[in-house]
Structure formats: C-alpha cells, structure tokens
Amino acid sequence: MVVYETMYELTTVLTTIAACSASIVAILGGLIASKLIALNTERDEVKARITELNEEIDFFTQECDMLQEQLDEDDALDFIEENVQCLIQKEKFSNIYKEENRPQLPRDVLQVYWSRAEKVNEILTSFFHDENNHDCKWNEDGVPVKIAKIITQNFEYSVCEKICDYLYQQTCFSNTRYYLNSNVSHGNWYANTQEKRISVDNKISYLTLQKKQLITRRKALEKSKGMKAGLLLFAIFSFLNIVLPLCLVPFLTDNYYFFLIVKISFILTFFVGLIAIMCYLVYLLHWN
C-alpha cells in the first residue's frame, strides 16, 4: 500500500503578496521621487534667489557707501570752513577738535579728511611762496589755474576753494570773489542725500532679512520632513514583501504547521507594511 504525503504550497500566496507590494511600492516610490524632485527644484530656486540677493545687497551697499561718503565730505568741508584759519596756520587737529562741540563725523573719520586738507594747504603754501606764480591766472572758482590742474579730486578742490577764498578776503585782492551759496539749496541737497542714504540702508536691511529667511528655508529643505523615513520604509517594505517572497518561490512543504507559520507571517508582514505606509502618509500630512 502506497502512502502519499500531502504537500502544501505557498507559491500563489507569495506571488500575490509580491505583486500587490510591487504596486504599492510603485505608488510610494513615485510619491517619494516627486517629492525629491520638487525639493531639488525648490532648493535650486532658493540658491539662485540668494545669489541674486547677494548681488543686490552689494549694489545697494556700494550706493549707500557713496552717499555716506558725500555726506561725510560735506560735513568735513563745513568743519574745515569753520576752522580754515587754523588749517592755514597748521595747527594740530587735536587742538581744534572739541568733544563738546564735535561735528556729525566721528573723530577718526574727520581726522582723515583733515589730513587731506593739510596736504592741500601745503601745496598752496608752496605755490604762493614761489615768486614765479605771483602773476598766475585764476579760474572762475577763484583757484589758480596751475593748482586746478594738479588737484583733480572734488574734496581737495573744494578745500582749495575755501582756502583761496579765505585768503582773498583777508588780503582784499581786487579780484576777490564772494561766494553766493544758497544755504537753502545746500540744506535741501543735504537733506535729500541723507534721505536717499536712509532709504538705501532700509533696502539693504530688507534684502538682508530676505536672505536670512531664505537661508533658513534652505536649511529646512536640506532636512526635509519624512524623506529619510520614507526611503527607509520603502527599502524595508520592498525587501520583506517583494524580494523575500520571490526568493521563496516555488514554496512546497509537507509540514502543515510550518506552512501555517510561513503563510501567517507573510500576511502579517504585508498588513504591518500597509499600516506603516498609512502612518507615514498621515505623518506627512501632519502640521505642527
């Protein structure tokens, strides 16, 4: 009498689980891939915008420095005009500068302009002491033509005008010219320039704030929520529910209990994976 052993096979169950898991993995993989592509696109946009902001900040910083330099030069010229006699007499800056009556410029900044003015005074002093220059020509600004050709910078030229004007008034030359400067127009220019500088400075502050926000955004994109967890879940689910079942196909055994254990284990693994995926999606939708 021949006794046939009953064989139990799990090939159908394993292939079904692998096929269903493959579909789920395709959906999950597409979700993660689209998310990564969107992150890369947004990250590139953020980097490009930060580069643009750096260029704009550099541009407005240069403009702000230029406007501030104009204001500094004007304040320095006012100080020099008030102390032009001390400049001509070559008094030390430390003896002239008074903390209690200090101008808008800080001491160290004004010291630089005063040193530049002293160099102009030295040039004029040498020029006037040269007998060959007594019959020199003067331009419409009241500056010797030879000096005007030498001094090309605006600040130095303005200092030269103030020194010459002071000397004209002291010596009462016949060609003395009095400057009819409009205090109103000068005051308007100074106020407008100062307003422009404040406006540009506010733009720089606003652009710097935008840059700071974008840097924070870039750091957040580099640590995007759930991407590492999604990739880990993707790898584990693929291995347990696709790779492992396919490796066991075909599956035959004559041990019924072993058959049940393997079958229940794979089904439970599949459902646990589904639950993990659902929890992951809920996690992505959660907002703090």
Q: What is the pLDDT of residues 79-90, one digit of tens each?
A: 888 888 888 888
pLDDT at residue 178, as a whole number = 42
% of the chain surpassing 70 pLDDT: 85
270 vs 176: CA distance, rounded Å: 103
98 vs 86: CA distance, rounded Å: 14
Higher-confidence position of 261 and 97: 261
Mean pLDDT of the chain: 81
The model's confidence at residue 157, banded by pLDDT at 50, 70 and 90, is confident
pLDDT at residue 101, as a whole number = 57
pLDDT at residue 141, as a whole number = 74
What phi, psi does 252 have (nearest 5°)? -130, 140
What phi, psi does 229 have (nearest 5°)? -65, -40
pLDDT at residue 196, as a whole number = 92
Domain boundaries, the chain: 8-61+206-285, 64-202
pLDDT at residue 142, as a whole number = 77
Q: What digits encode the pLDDT tens for the residues 68-119?
A: 888 888 888 888 888 888 888 888 887 887 754 555 678 888 888 888 888 8
65 vs 72: CA distance, rounded Å: 10
Q: What digits encode the pLDDT tens for the residues 181-212?
A: 445 556 788 888 889 999 999 999 999 999 99
pLDDT at 273 over 80: yes
Higher-confidence position of 205 and 120: 205
Q: What digits encode the pLDDT tens for the residues 162-184?
A: 888 887 777 654 444 444 444 55
206 vs 231: CA distance, rounded Å: 39
pLDDT at residue 173, as a whole number = 47
Q: Looking at this protein, which amino acid is placed at residue 35?
A: K
Question: Span 16-45, mean pLDDT?
Answer: 83
The model's confidence at residue 66, banded by pLDDT at 50, 70 and 90, is very high
The model's confidence at residue 146, banded by pLDDT at 50, 70 and 90, is confident
pLDDT at residue 93, as a whole number = 83
pLDDT at 37 over 50: yes
pLDDT at residue 88, as a whole number = 84
Q: Looking at this protein, which amino acid is placed at residue 176?
A: T
H/E/C letters for each residue in the chain? CCCCCCCEECHHHHHHHHHHHHHHHHHHHHHHHHHHHHHHHHHHHHHHHHHHHHHHHHHHHHHHHHHHHHHHHHHHHHHHHHCHHHHHCCCCHHHHCCCCCCCCCCHHHHHHHHHHHHHHHHHHHHHHHCHHHCCCCECCCCCEHHHHHHCCCHHHHHHHHHHHHHHHHHHCCCCCCCCCCCHHHHHHHHHHHHHHHHHHHHHHHHHHHHHHHHHHHHHHHHCCCCHHHHHHHHHHHHHHHHHHHHHHCCCEECCHHHHHHHHHHHHHHHHHHHHHHHHHHHHHHCCC
84 vs 265: CA distance, rounded Å: 99
pLDDT at residue 99, as a whole number = 58
pLDDT at residue 172, as a whole number = 55
Question: Span 119-142, mean pLDDT?
Answer: 77
- Per-residue CA distances from 68 to 101, 184, 240 (Å): 21, 21, 69
